[in-house]
Amino acid sequence: MIFAIKSLARFLRLFRKEEDGSESLELALIFLPFVMIPVSGFELGLLMTRHVMVERGLDMAIREVRLNTGVPFTETQFKTMVCNSAGIIPNCMVNLRLEMRNIDLRHTGSNATNQIPRHASCTNLDYPNQAPRNYTNGVPNELMVVRACGLFSPMLPEFGLGYFLSRIRGDGNYPLVATAAFVMEPL
């Protein structure tokens, strides 16, 4: 037993004096954070660009709907307008789900028909042709709330920020939600 302790002590003494490979250790400890930060920056930039484009698409489609009060738009037509204005959203017609409902400002309280659900309903990518959730067209001078929820997959799902984004829902995708309110123009 004493021999083993003396051998280990001698090995550690020699290991402490040896300086070969010290640069490799520094590279191993420092390289990963210096690579992870720019990659996460690109991932965050892509996330923000997608979110801004969903917001822009929603705003452009709302403008069209708001000014054409007499024309009722279906969810598919509205989604097409959002996707045409959004531009860079991948597979937009499948990844995006819309919700549009009217809100009566004269009614307050906890009536479920007048409240917006807390969580947005995103597309189930296993069943992309789901029925619209709470999609109703408005009448003139009515307050409407529109919410779009899109599911997107990260650029690098196993590295940096993409690792955390891919585990938000458990299916490898992260949701982006855009909400807007508008009043239907009078005829």
Query: Is residue 90, in this structure, part of any structural domain at all?
Result: yes
Tens digits of residue pLDDT in 128-152: 676 667 788 877 788 888 899 888 8
Cα separation, 127 vs 24, whole angstroms: 50
Residue 55 belongs to some domain of the structure = yes
Residue 126 pLDDT exceeds 70: no
**Contact present, 150 and 96 (Cβ < 8 Å):** yes
Share of the chain above pLDDT 70, in %: 83
Which DSSP category does 149 fall into? E
Residue 181 has pLDDT above 80, yes or no: yes
Residue, of 133 and 6, whose pLDDT is higher: 6
Q: Is residue 16 part of a domain?
A: no
The count of domains in the chain is 1
User: Residue 17: inside a domain, yes or no?
Assistant: no
Report the pLDDT averaged over residues 14-30. 72
For 94, the domain range is 26-183
Q: What is the mean pLDDT of the chain?
A: 83
Q: SS3 helix, strand, coil % of the chain, rounded to 5?
A: 45, 15, 40
Q: Does residue 112 register a pLDDT over 60?
A: no
Burial of 70 from C-beta contacts in 10 A (0-12 / 13-18 / 19+): exposed
19 inside domain: no
- The pLDDT of residue 42 is 94
